[in-house]
Chains A and B, each alone.
Chain A
Amino acid sequence: MLSNYLLSWIVFTPMIGFVLVLLMPRDKVAWIRWTAAVFTFIPMILSFYLYAIMNPSDGGFQFIEKYSWISAFNIQYYLGIDGISAPMVILTGLLGFLSVFASWNINKAHKAYFALYLLLVTAMFGVFMSLDFFLFYIFWELMLFPMYFLIGIWGGPRREYAAIKFFLYTLAGSVLMLVVILAFYFNSTDPSTGRHTFDIVTLMNQANQGPFIKEFWIRLAMYIALFIGFAIKVPVFPFHTWLPDAHVEAPTAISVILAGVLLKMGAYGLMRISFPLLPDMARYTAIGLAILGLINIVYGALVAMAQTDFKKMIAYSSVSHMGFVILGLSSMTFIGFNGALMQMFNHGIITGMLFLLVGVIYDRAHHRDLNGFGGLATYMPIYAGITSLAFMGSLGLPGLSGFIGEILVFLGSFKVYPVIVIISATGVIFTAAYFLWAYQRVFLGAANEKYKGIAEINGRELFTLIPLVLIALFFGVYPVPFFNLVGPSLSKLLMMVGH
């Protein structure tokens, strides 16, 4: 029972929590919080269980659930995961659970907050598991309005602007995707039934795609439309401008989810949909993708260096780090793909950690000005220690997982684009520069008298951070389990798309 419907359980357990939270009285804050915690804990455990029982050497889709949903249009309820989606599901489970605790000090409308939060978690799981294009789109869009409210109601001072900007950008990208989805539908045949299909796995087989979408310009247009949809999510330069606004204004937990999970959806979309469905176009435009990756890495790092707002700096560091993912994907090599996926996972862990850390200091000092602190290490040694670890992880210090992802991306793409990789490598230096400079300004130097009595990081906050620290350390030293998990699926992808 459980293992037959394991994926559905993971997707819809938060949904059950959503209904329960809606039914609860508004003033029972503790009940609501703990419901959210329990109904994100269960899918997290189930996602670990999933990892334990899945067969990594298979490379194909597992735990498949396939039912007809709307037969008039051959729309299916079709879930399944492989090595590419499994790390994302685990990441979603982990951050989905931990962020509940980062939401502990939400101070208004708890019921609405946790209800929307649980809905968001359901949608995120759904995106990473859907193998039907239509279902994928529904989950993809289902994230939008909870996110809009979560940023817009519980966000910072410019929350209204940030929320609507996020909403409009993402919707603009996804409606273009919708046109491509419909175009695929009408130009496809399912060989077993002879009908049009939304089935991603069927569409991956080029023989099932119709003559109209075999034409070069049509394919290119479709690829670009899909790419814009995904690029806005990643976000790839020049579609990144929503991200600093959304990140800075969002409450801590939502920043974690945004950086940790939502940004991955763009890159995941490229790997799951763009590359296998339109492999020739992926190869044709790979060099463009590499250049965009380069811009993301260097430009993101330079802009991050110029920031004085702690959170904004990390937001731009996300732009820079997602550039590595894009560069790795553009290489179309096994090593590059491995690096990109590793980097996606790491970025979720490490940047999640960074946003949690910013939240800790913001809760105490009520500002995030990098120049407004100084010598905090004196008052908050544990906090300073964890932050240094997260910073080091993020700037790619060997021994922490961030390094593994970056080095593999460079190794994988150096053979293909040596010049681009050499220029990108400067991004690593800038990254080191802004992280170390920020660390110096906040934690080192003369202790700022103003923060003399500031409270050290508390148990709840440590509880959200420690698991992420352990994962970053573990994969930094021994990344093999990760590669075992993703390898077979990535080589399958490479067979479809590779040179």
Chain B
Amino acid sequence: MMHRDLIRSLVLITPEIVAALTASVALIGAMLMKRSRGNEAFYIGIIGMIGALAATVILYERLTLDTAFYGMIAVDPFSLFFRIIAYTSILYVLLMSFNSRELKDTDGKWEFVAILSGFGIGMSMMASSLNLLMIYLSIELLSVMSYLLVSYTKGVRRSKEAGLKYIIYGSIASGFMLYGMSILYGISHSLNLREIALTFINSNYPPVTVYVATLFILAGFGFKIAMVPMHMWAPDVYEGAPTPITALLAVASKAAGFAVLLRFFYTAYISSVSMTQYYAQVSPIKWLTVIAIISAFTMTIGNIVAIPQNNIKRLLAYSSIAHAGYMLIGVSIISKAAIGSILLYLAVYFFMNLGAFVVVMVVDNNLNSEDINSYSGLSQVAPGLSAAMAVFLFSLTGIPPFAGFIGKVVIFLSAIDKGLYWLVIIAVLNTVVSLYYYARVIKKMYLETAPADIQPIKVGMLPALIIISLLIPTILFGIWWAPLQSFAHFSSFMY
């Protein structure tokens, strides 16, 4: 019996097995082809990620609602959704890495692929864990891989500094989280999220204790999504990391943070323990209000501090903080519909934000600069690239007919449904603020003339294809998002 359960569990984590195999092959490759500076490693990585992605999609097609490894991890549409995001974003990072100026001369490409695969496993597990210990381990796996990736460019001080900052901030956040988890374990005598929910129902815990535990755990999760006040690391790390890795942090790492945040609160704090208590608040504290307030601060601070930025990666870092704020609106409602809207937002955010980072990388490759001023007159030397960037930035602002608008509307819809008018009004006003700094980049590209000595921009075949593959959904889902809507809705089912 146990034997069969184990085999069943192994089948349910096929994508992670494929990723682990990719990592192993890459490590062997690293030993065999030590001196190689070619891109063989990236091909292996791409094959591996496509394999993992295929396995995930097959699992998704079966639409299981299951647990594996004796209730340690859940295999449900929710976790599969995030596994798709994980492997797709790694795939994109690998594709970007072919052309990255920063990663060109590094001699550890094999290890790079291995670390990325580990990142993917960490992210998948974060989205699946049903157990506090498992949550902690998967977050740490993801974090350690992120620390390595951030400081991957050899001999670049900025990158080293970013890595070190990330480790220090990250360790403190983990420490807080672990402490919070230990308090939660102390009062509930369980590590399993569903059992914690049961003990919430059956006993009266002092709210202060639960508040302390919740806020500490939230600090750990909030660090991953760059939530105020745990956002301080983001600008420095985003600026210092090689651009493909910045994109990975902004898209995948943030999604992973939301996955674990939603899973934790949805399962432990408002569980569907019995039919009568569906959606019932089981924790004794007003944590939804806390999150709503944090959400307001996150988007406001992110947007306002983004205004004076002159480095495009720093600007996008603050913008990603603001976007975390918008998505937190959904967390503060946490109904099925709200979870679906967060997933839709994450999918849309994936396309537009990743797209913006690819453009940043291409510009950086050519002009060797991340300064917004170097975007002056870009539309005259690279019309296609500038048009794509304009679409991504307008979409990030949330202007129709681009997908970012739909993401925002769907989140606002679920908030208005619950009567959170004040939060929606703050959010829409934030949209106006955000237009100012996004439009600043657009203004540089279109409204200013290029300096006389500007070099011609070579986009290259592969980056062009990557940008187009991200541009099409950004426009298409702004006009016809019914398929994305139903995908996000199905994916909101949690075990």
Chain A interface residues (CB < 8 Å from chain B)? 70-73, 137-138, 141-142, 144-145, 148-149, 152-153, 159-160, 163-164, 167-168, 171-172, 175-176, 178-179, 182-183, 185-186
Q: How many Å lie between the Cα of A149 and that of B447 in the bound state?
A: 8
- Alpha-carbon separation in the docked complex, A177 to B412 (Å): 13
> Do residues A163 and B447 form an inter-chain contact, with CB atoms below 8 A?
yes
- A138: chain B residues at CB < 8 Å are 400-401
State which of B109-117, B219-227, B430-438 sits at the interface with chain A.
B430-438
Kindly identify which residue among A144, A145, A149, A175 contacts B429, using a CB–CB cutoff of 8 Å.
A175
What is the CA–CA distance of A183 and B416 in the complex, to the nearest angstrom? 7
Which residue numbers of B lie inside 8 Å of A, CB to CB? 390, 394, 399-401, 405, 409, 412-413, 416-417, 421, 424-425, 428-429, 431-432, 435-436, 439, 443, 446-448, 480-482, 485-486, 489
A153: chain B residues within 8 A (beta carbon): 446-447
17 A-B pairs with CB atoms under 8 Å apart are A70-B481, A138-B401, A141-B399, A142-B400, A144-B399, A145-B394, A159-B447, A167-B435, A167-B439, A168-B432, A168-B435, A168-B436, A175-B431, A179-B412, A179-B416, A182-B424, A186-B417
Which chain A residue has the least Cβ–Cβ distance from B443?
A160
A141 with B489, Cβ < 8 A, contacts A160-B447, A175-B429 known = no
Instruction: Specify which chain A residues have a CB less than 8 angstroms from the CB of B447 in the assembled complex.
Output: 152-153, 159-160, 163
Chain B residue nearest to A152 in the complex (CB): B447
Q: Are B482 and A171 in contact (CB under 8 A)?
A: no
The residue that A175 contacts in the complex, of B413, B432, B446, B486, with Cβ under 8 A, is B432
Q: Which of A142, A152, A168, A182 touches B412 (beta carbons < 8 Å)?
A: A182
Give the interface SS of chain A, mostly helix, strand, loop or mixed.
helix
Kindly state the separation between the CA atoms of A18 and B174 in the bound complex, as whole angstroms: 53
Contacts of B435 in A (CB 8 A): 167-168, 171
User: CB < 8 Å: which of A71, A164, A176, A178 contacts B439?
Assistant: A164
- The docked-state distance in angstroms from the alpha carbon of A164 to that of B447 is 11
Residue of A with least CB distance to B416? A182
C-alpha spacing A120/B400, complex, angstroms: 13
Once bound together, how far apart are the Cα atoms of A186 and B480, in whole Å?
22
By Cβ-Cβ distance, the 7 closest A-B pairs, closest first, are A175-B428, A182-B416, A141-B400, A138-B400, A152-B447, A172-B432, A160-B447
Distance (whole angstroms) from the CB of B316 to the closest CB of chain A? 20
Residues of A within 8 A of B412 (CB): 178-179, 182
Most buried by A among B421, B428, B489: B428
Bound-state CA distance A244–B436 (Å) is 20
Known: A179-B421, A186-B417. A71 touches B482 (CB 8 A): yes
Q: Tell me the bound Cα distance from A185 to B399 in angstroms.
A: 20
**A160: which B residues are within 8 A, CB to CB?**
443, 447-448
B432: A residues at CB distance < 8 A: 168, 171-172, 175
B402 to chain A minimum Cβ distance, whole angstroms, is 9
Min C-beta distance of B98 to chain A, whole Å: 29
Residue contact A164 to B425, C-beta cutoff 8 Å: no
Give Cα distance in the complex from A175 to B413, angstroms.
13
Residues of B within 8 A of A168 (CB): 432, 435-436
| Residues of chain A contacted by B429 (CB below 8 angstroms) | 172, 175
| Cα(A321)–Cα(B388), bound, Å | 40
Bound form: Cα–Cα A172–B394 in Å: 15
Nearest-CB distance from B403 to chain A (Å)? 13
How many Å lie between the Cα of A183 and that of B413 in the bound state? 9
> Which residue of A72, A137, A183, A186 has the most chain B CB atoms within 10 A of its CB atom?
A72
A167-B439, A178-B428, A179-B424 given as contacts; is B400 within 8 A of A185 (CB)? no
> Bound complex: CA of A167 vs CA of B399, how far in Å?
11
Contact A70/B485 with A138-B400, A179-B424, A179-B428 known, Cβ cut-off 8 Å: yes
